[in-house]
């Protein structure tokens, strides 16, 4: 098999338990939380425009194991990541008696600290708990498969278990609130003006399903920071405003956009063009899959890629080549870049019997070095039983 061998949830857990035992001999973790990464099948750069997305959970994700500690007078939290190739510190301790602000370093810490800070807003000051947490992810970092959302949602799931008995019923998070909390953590602590798709699917994913998510009234606020992503968010908001709407979801058709074209910059027009057509493709895509019309779904995937390339301008030569190589293989229905863009992965819909051929064609012709993953649509965030591993 020429696809990457994926770390299983069991392997992730075994590694974390070993690391825990090495660091804290004769002690056992009591909590284990897992949240998956995602792949988006269609509906890109749609979420922060309150449009549709169509993602699925994947079998790789982030796991957090650990336990509550006794020190309630002076609550402190200890975090350690097992990630290799890190230039920054792999562990740190955090005093949680005071308000928690974003960390200067390590940068990775902000994904967990942001979630902790927002979660603690729901907890009475005298109920705050000390804990230690060890974190490991099997999501390829920087691959556009949402490693950051899976870290946030795994951390939040860990905290839900840690505080399960303590926090008042009316403070309990619904799954939607949980996704929004994790999204806000990324926006305000990691400083990325993302939409809510990644955190949402990491919470709600279901084995064997892709989920069409309608993001009306997502109420996600965007902190517009620097960078291409933020610029694009701003173009979309401007286009909506020029056309007299709250967001691009409410634009009825490309004709409506054409009528307002003169009033906006060419870049703003192009960004809006992608979002409006992508919304139609996403709904049509969900319908096509329901009808088992894979050909039609594939066609929409190619169209989505072309629109991301030409109008949203977030593809790159490498992603374009991967899509074109996939297209040349018999048995491939469709292919497109997935996630934010500027690199990362493509997702390809291909007949099982043609998978090897597709991999071979890309391997032999792609100008870079590609890695291949075969994912099953997998379940969302969950608590994982530690008993079995502790008993051994």
Catalytic residue among 27, 70, 85, 198: 198
Enter the tokens of residue 372. 């291949």
Q: Residue 268 or 338: which CB sits closer to ligand GLA?
A: 338
Whether 262 is catalytic: no
Q: Nearest approach, Cβ of 140 to ligand GLA (angstroms)?
A: 14
Q: Nearest approach, Cβ of 265 to ligand GLA (angstroms)?
A: 21
Q: Nearest approach, Cβ of 198 to ligand GLA (angstroms)?
A: 5
Name the residues that contact ligand GLA, by CB under 6 A: 40, 44-45, 47-48, 194-195, 197-198, 339-340
Q: Residue 50 or 130: which CB sits closer to ligand GLA?
A: 50
- Tokens 């291909």 map to which residue? 350
Which letter does DSSP use for residue 204 in this model? H
Q: Residue 31 or 213: which CB sits closer to ligand GLA?
A: 213
Q: Nearest approach, Cβ of 70 to ligand GLA (angstroms)?
A: 38
Q: Residue 109 or 195: which CB sits closer to ligand GLA?
A: 195
Q: Residue 75 or 285: which CB sits closer to ligand GLA?
A: 285
Q: Residue 342 or 372: which CB sits closer to ligand GLA?
A: 342
User: 154, exposed or middle or buried, with CB in 10 Å at 0-12, 13-18, 19+?
Assistant: buried
User: The dihedral of CA 293, 299, 302, 304: what is its sign?
Assistant: negative
Question: Left, alpha or beta for 292 (phi > 0: left; psi -120 to 50: alpha)?
Answer: left
Cβ-contact 49, 240 below 8 angstroms: yes
Q: Nearest approach, Cβ of 194 to ligand GLA (angstroms)?
A: 3
- 146 vs 35: CA distance, rounded Å: 11
Q: Nearest approach, Cβ of 149 to ligand GLA (angstroms)?
A: 7
Q: Residue 278 or 379: which CB sits closer to ligand GLA?
A: 278
The Cβ-side half-sphere exposure at 200, using a 13 Å CA radius, reads 21
Strands (E) in the chain, as ranges, are 31-40, 52-53, 55-69, 76-81, 91-95, 130-137, 213-214, 332-338, 345-350, 382-383
User: 280, exposed or middle or buried, with CB in 10 Å at 0-12, 13-18, 19+?
Assistant: middle
- Per residue in 207-235, is it b (16+ CB within 10 Å) or e — as a string? eeebbbbebeebebebeeeeeebbebbeb
Q: Nearest approach, Cβ of 141 to ligand GLA (angstroms)?
A: 14
Enter the tokens of residue 228. 């291409």
- 350 vs 332: CA distance, rounded Å: 4
Cβ-contact 83, 243 below 8 angstroms: no
Q: Which of 205, 225, 313 is nearest to 269 (CA)?
A: 313
Cβ-contact 282, 52 below 8 angstroms: yes
Q: Which residues are catalytic?
A: 198
């Amino acid at each position: 098999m020429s696809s990457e061998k994926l770390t299983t949830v069991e392997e992730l857990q075994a590694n974390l338990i070993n690391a825990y035992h090495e660091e804290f001999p004769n002690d056992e973790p009591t909590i284990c939380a897992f949240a998956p990464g995602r792949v988006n099948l269609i509906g890109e750069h749609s979420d922060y425009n309150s449009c549709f997305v169509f993602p699925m959970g994947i079998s790789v994700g982030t796991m957090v194991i650990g336990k509550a500690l006794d020190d309630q007078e002076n609550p402190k939290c200890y975090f350690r990541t097992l990630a290799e190739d890190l230039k920054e510190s792999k562990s740190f301790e955090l005093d949680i008696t005071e308000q928690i602000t974003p960390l200067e370093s390590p940068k990775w810490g902000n994904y967990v600290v942001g979630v902790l800070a927002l979660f603690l807003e729901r907890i009475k000051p005298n109920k705050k708990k000390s804990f230690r947490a060890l974190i490991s992810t099997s999501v390829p970092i920087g691959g556009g498969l949402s490693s950051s959302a899976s870290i946030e949602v795994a951390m939040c799931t860990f905290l839900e278990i840690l505080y399960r008995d303590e926090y008042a019923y009316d403070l309990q998070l619904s799954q939607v609130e949980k996704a929004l909390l994790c999204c806000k953590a990324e926006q305000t602590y990691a400083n990325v003006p993302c939409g809510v798709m990644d955190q949402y699917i990491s919470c709600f994913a279901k084995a064997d399903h892709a989920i069409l998510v309608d993001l009306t009234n997502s109420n996600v606020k965007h902190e517009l920071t620097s960078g291409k992503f933020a610029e694009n968010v701003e173009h979309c908001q401007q286009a909506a405003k020029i056309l007299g709407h709250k967001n691009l979801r409410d634009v009825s058709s490309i004709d409506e956009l054409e009528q307002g074209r003169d009033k906006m910059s060419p870049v703003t027009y192009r960004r809006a063009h992608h979002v409006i057509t992508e919304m139609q493709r996403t709904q049509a895509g969900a319908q096509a899959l329901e009808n088992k019309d894979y050909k039609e779904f594939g066609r929409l995937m190619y169209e989505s890629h072309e629109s991301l390339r030409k109008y949203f301008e977030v593809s790159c030569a490498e992603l374009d080549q991967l899509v074109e190589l996939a297209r040349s293989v018999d048995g491939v229905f469709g292919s497109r870049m997935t996630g934010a863009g500027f690199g990362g992965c493509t997702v390809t819909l291909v007949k099982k019997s043609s998978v090897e051929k597709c991999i071979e064609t890309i391997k032999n012709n792609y100008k870079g070095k590609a890695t291949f993953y075969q994912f099953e649509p997998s379940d969302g965030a969950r608590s994982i039983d530690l008993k079995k591993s502790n008993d051994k």
